[in-house]
Amino acid sequence: MNGGRLGAGRTAAQRRAPRAAVWARWVLQWCLVAGVLVGPPAAGPARAAVPGVPLVFTQEPEQGGGAAGSRVVLLQEDGRLRVLTPGFAAAADPCVSFDGTLVLFAGRRHPDDPWDVWIMDVDGSRQRQITRGLGDCREPVFLVRAAIDAPEFRHRVRWIGFTSTAPGVVDEYGRGPLTSLYALNLESLPGRGPVLWRTTFSLGGDLAPVVLRDGRTLYSSWQRQGYALMATTWAGEEVNPVFGSHDDDWSQLDACERAAARELVFIERQGEVGDRSGRLACVSWRRPLHSHRVLSRDGGSYRTPQALEDGTVIVSYAPPGRGFGLYVFDMARGRPGRCIFDDPRWHDVDPQPVCVRPEPTARIPMVAEASVLDVAGYEGAGQLQCLDVYDTDRPELASIPRGAIKTVRLIEGIPLTAAAAAGQACAVSQQGAGAWPPPCVRPQSLGEAPVEADGSFYVNVPGDVPFYVETLDADGRVLGTMRAWAWVRSRDQRGCIGCHEDKELAPVNRATEALIKAAPVSLMGARAAVRGEVR
């Protein structure tokens, strides 16, 4: 219950006010007490968002500190709250399995422990640790059931994804440890131990993974000035932008999918992400790049939306001056509706329904040991081809005359350890937000490859290595610079349509000159001789 902040006695000023105004003020106060006019309903007895559907969620200490000291709880059907993680110094980020019987979460037994991924039954029993020695592992999600045992791919096992600081480096702007996405088999593979794959290689930091119905992993990825929504397969192939920009400091975070409505709902905020709260927004799958609309109209703070199968969206919402509680979001009115649960001693966030959910579409990956690609002589290499470097939606690139680009240079980004970063004083405050290349990354040329007259190129590249691309003219001058990280997974093949092509366009059907030659340039060796200085 809220703590009776309303309803204090009349002041001297009020007693002297005109009678009508006094009368109006009394009416207003009683209405506020009744919770009729403004603000969300007062937190009454806890109820499940959907009758019969319990909720697992995180409670963060109200006094602040984020996940430190947090706990994972279960709001049962009868409205009672049960702490699932006693004995943990901190526990957060629950994710319920598709069959509704298991919960993944991130936890630390002792305050000084790193975060690790744990799993338990939905009643909190049978807790067991999943990750060890991988830095801080957070935000676990259940992924698909997929096989990687080539060539028959018979043994489908459950995979989980999570974010981790395992790379052991700082992010590209020196804001802190770099977090990347990883995939790990939850069930054992015959004759194999754990298989751990890093699945994103961007250097800005990736977080908030969530599984889509089509089997991809949607996540928020730092793009120079803010987080944008990206998607990749569960194994890290075909990374593509979904929504967001690297030209402004708006961030899109903590997305969820309203499958029936074919929408993505997410948190949006400008500037520092802080506790990742913001306004509620959405895009439609029918046209994600051009269907953005803001859902919340009340100006309040929202976190961690979660969509139920019937399209209901549950949000964490904090009225002004109060902590976060769980509410059903009223899509029609653009504001919180019914309060599900709100304990003022805690911030109640990250609700996860305990129910059966449809399995996402699985995929046999074409990476690493599951791939049949062998780039002769190069272990773990990948292949990249671009159809037309002139195919772009960027005005500054569209002005480059066709034929002017003679070469592409691929530049690897080598991240820095914390010590090296401190030594280089490369923090963003000194370099300016959005600087490129980012200050806490050492660029190293992988080499150059010719661009054919039709704009195509074809290269073999080291797998699992982040790089960006520069286009050069005949004199080696840079005509265009990609300001984001790309990569090709180990033993994967990737095609690009153009240089920042319009993402709503399918490729042109043609055999490019680079493919007709079918002689990819190898960028696998040591740093190649380049013209000019690579900055």
Query: Taking CB under 8 A as the rule, does residue 463 contact another protein?
Result: no
Question: What is the C-alpha to C-alpha distance for residues 349 and 72, in angstroms, rounded to an integer?
Answer: 10
Query: Taking CB under 8 A as the rule, does residue 394 contact another protein?
Result: no
Looking up tokens 């095609």 gives 495
Which parts of 332-361 interact with another protein (CB under 8 A)?
A: 361
Which parts of 439-458 interact with another protein (CB under 8 A)?
A: 458
The residue (of 2 and 493) whose beta carbon lies closer to another protein is 493
The residue (of 52 and 401) whose beta carbon lies closer to another protein is 401
The residue (of 248 and 513) whose beta carbon lies closer to another protein is 513
Residue (of 221, 214, 177) closest to 199 by Cα position: 221
Query: Taking CB under 8 A as the rule, does residue 147 contact another protein?
Result: yes
Contact residue for another protein among 373, 414, 422, 435 (CB under 8 A): 373
Query: Taking CB under 8 A as the rule, does residue 12 contact another protein?
Result: no
Residue (of 137, 125, 115, 113) closest to 74 by Cα position: 125
Query: Taking CB under 8 A as the rule, does residue 259 contact another protein?
Result: yes
The helix (run of H) or strand (run of E) holding residue 256 is strand 250-258
* Buried b / exposed e along 380-412 (16+ C-beta atoms within 10 A): bbbbbbbbbbbbbeeeebeebeeebbbbbbbbb
Query: Taking CB under 8 A as the rule, does residue 151 contact another protein?
Result: yes
Query: Taking CB under 8 A as the rule, does residue 401 contact another protein?
Result: no
The residue (of 293 and 503) whose beta carbon lies closer to another protein is 503
Of the candidate spans 93-101, 222-230, 415-423, 501-509, the one that interacts with another protein by CB under 8 A turns out to be 501-509
Of the candidate spans 109-117, 168-176, 283-291, 333-341, the one that interacts with another protein by CB under 8 A turns out to be 283-291
Of the candidate spans 43-51, 193-201, 235-243, 521-529, the one that interacts with another protein by CB under 8 A turns out to be 235-243
Question: What is the C-alpha to C-alpha distance for residues 352 and 342, in angstroms, rounded to an integer?
Answer: 15
In angstroms, what is the minimal distance from the CB of 381 to another protein?
11
Query: Taking CB under 8 A as the rule, does residue 514 contact another protein?
Result: yes
27: helix, coil or strand? helix
Query: Taking CB under 8 A as the rule, does residue 156 contact another protein?
Result: yes
Contact residue for another protein among 92, 375, 469, 484 (CB under 8 A): 375
Residue (of 404, 497, 500) closest to 453 by Cα position: 404
Query: Taking CB under 8 A as the rule, does residue 300 contact another protein?
Result: no
The residue (of 294 and 508) whose beta carbon lies closer to another protein is 508
In angstroms, what is the minimal distance from the CB of 159 to another protein?
12
Of the candidate spans 95-103, 164-172, 213-221, 432-440, the one that interacts with another protein by CB under 8 A turns out to be 213-221
In angstroms, what is the minimal distance from the CB of 257 to another protein?
11
| CB contact set of 422 (below 8 Å; sequence gap of 6+) | none
| CB contact set of 364 (below 8 Å; sequence gap of 6+) | 146, 147, 148, 153, 370
Query: Taking CB under 8 A as the rule, does residue 297 contact another protein?
Result: no
What strands lie across the sheet with 478-481, from one edge to the other?
A: 441-450, 407-415, 467-472, 478-481
Query: Taking CB under 8 A as the rule, does residue 509 contact another protein?
Result: yes
In angstroms, what is the minimal distance from the CB of 390 to another protein?
13
The residue (of 227 and 458) whose beta carbon lies closer to another protein is 458
Contact residue for another protein among 403, 507, 525, 532 (CB under 8 A): 507
Question: What is the C-alpha to C-alpha distance for residues 80 and 95, in angstroms, rounded to an integer?
Answer: 20
Query: Taking CB under 8 A as the rule, does residue 508 contact another protein?
Result: yes
| Residue 319 φ/ψ, nearest 5 degrees | -65, 160
Residue 5 near residue 16 (C-beta atoms within 8 A) = no
Residue 184 near residue 163 (C-beta atoms within 8 A) = no
| CB contact set of 185 (below 8 Å; sequence gap of 6+) | 157, 158, 159, 194, 195
Cα distances from 435 to residues 4, 227, 246, 322, in angstroms, run 49, 15, 11, 37
Query: Taking CB under 8 A as the rule, does residue 531 contact another protein?
Result: no
Residue 487 near residue 201 (C-beta atoms within 8 A) = yes
Which parts of 114-143 interact with another protein (CB under 8 A)?
A: none
Query: Taking CB under 8 A as the rule, does residue 483 contact another protein?
Result: no
The residue (of 23 and 153) whose beta carbon lies closer to another protein is 153
| Residue 18 φ/ψ, nearest 5 degrees | -55, 150
In angstroms, what is the minimal distance from the CB of 153 to another protein?
4
Contact residue for another protein among 62, 214, 275, 330 (CB under 8 A): 214
What strands lie across the sheet with 217-223, from one edge to the other?
A: 206-211, 217-223, 226-232, 240-243
Strand runs labelled E in 271-380: 279-284, 293-294, 301-307, 313-318, 325-330, 335-341, 346-353
Query: Taking CB under 8 A as the rule, does residue 372 contact another protein?
Result: yes
The residue (of 174 and 498) whose beta carbon lies closer to another protein is 498
Q: Which residues bind another protein (CB under 8 A)?
A: 144, 146-147, 150-153, 156, 213-215, 237-238, 240, 259-260, 262, 285-290, 361-364, 366, 370-373, 375, 383, 385, 387, 458, 493-495, 497, 503-512, 514-518, 520
